[in-house]
Each structure stands twice: as C-alpha cells, then as structure tokens.
Structure 1
C-alpha cells in the first residue's frame, strides 16, 4: 500500500513496488487508506506512507494505527 498525495511521487513508488512483483493499492490520503484496510478482505503486507497527507489522519499517525491494529504489516 502506498499513501502519497503527490501524484508524481505516488506513481514512482507504485512503479517501483510493482516492478518487485507486488500488487499495489495506492491512496492520496491516509483516511482513504485506513477505510480500505478496515474493509479489505485481502492481506496487506507493507505500507509506505508520506508523513504529511491531506485529510484527518496524517501519515505518521496512520503508520501508528496500522502497527497497533495489524502488527504483521511492515510500515
């Protein structure tokens, strides 16, 4: 999962992770990313998040939430 509000950086990160053979979900806000994680039926193995993204939840707060609820996800 990539959380980045800058479209150019988000695309670059998605391309890099995809080239490593992973399926990538990308979001421009941590709010949308956490909603996806709460509803997703598939496993997320890694989160890459920008520190400052638009919305109610900032990137660092999002990483803390993920580590607290899903400790198996690398962040």
Structure 2
C-alpha cells in the first residue's frame, strides 16, 4: 500500500509530507540557484506581484498575503540561513 494511503494513526502524515516537500524544494532551489543566481529574487517577486494584485484589505486577505510571503521566503532561503 502506498504511504499516502496508509492510516495516519499518530497524526504525523501532514507534517511528514510538509517536511519532505520543503526539503525537496530547498534542494532544487539551491541547485538551480547555482546557475541562476536571481532565481530566489524572482520567486519572491512573483509572490509579491500576485499579492499586490489581490490588493488585500480584509483580515483574511492580509493573513493569506503574509503567510504566502513568509512561506515563499522560507522555501527560497539559502541553506544554513
């Protein structure tokens, strides 16, 4: 049975999935940044452009915007930061 179909009796599936996904993204960003030093900046600019178009005004929109910025920054930060 594939791991994503197994019972989550300890409630760890979501955290384990996020760890795996984040680790793979960090490795890919780090590798790609060696040949494209502006990759991290472009990724953050893309998030900022998207959030700006939303023109967040409600508490929900502001929360979404701040979380998107924070998650993106975490995913593109250089190793050891």
TM bucket by the smaller chain? Answer: under 0.3
Report the structure number with the largest CA radius of gyration. Answer: 2
Structure number having the greater helix percentage: 2
Q: TM-score, normalised by structure 2?
A: 0.25
